[in-house]
Amino acid sequence: MAIDPNYSNAYAVLAWTHYNDWSYGWLPGKSKKPYQKALNLAYKAVALDPTDGFARCSLGYILLNGSKFDEAGTEFTEALKANPNDAHLIVLSAKFYIYVGQPEEAIKGVKEVMRLNPYHPH
């Protein structure tokens, strides 16, 4: 980000680190600060490049885990429009479908990931 402050992917990756701090409880206490920092960084990533599928997926996943389901759905939809063949994005969108009670869509996504990348780690 210091080299290129307009590189959306850097903001998206940093958003994941703060999300993980919050999600896994790696910081002492029950602070919501890491979650809010992750959300702010993910929004910044999308603002810098609305066509970046990873940035959109990052924002979607963070919103999903903040129980902002409608907004998360929009971000996953846009992420997959931007990069419909990215196995990682499809896996994370499948988790979204499980959370919102649409397991058939999740299964469809997982089957597509298995077709695209039979050795995907997830």
What pLDDT band is residue 30 in, cutting at 50, 70 and 90?
low
Q: pTM of this prediction?
A: 0.90
Q: In the chain, what are the domain boundaries?
A: 8-116
CB burial readout 60-70, b (16+ within 10 A) else e: bbbbbbbebee
- As its CATH architecture, domain 8-116 has Alpha Horseshoe (1.25)
Maximum CA pair distance of the chain? 43
Is there a contact between 7 and 1 (Cβ–Cβ < 8 Å)?
yes
Q: What is the spatial distance between Cα 80 and Cα 75, in angstroms, rounded to a whole number? A: 9
96, two tokens:
């979204």
Q: What is the pLDDT of residues 55-67, one digit of tens each?
A: 999 999 999 999 9
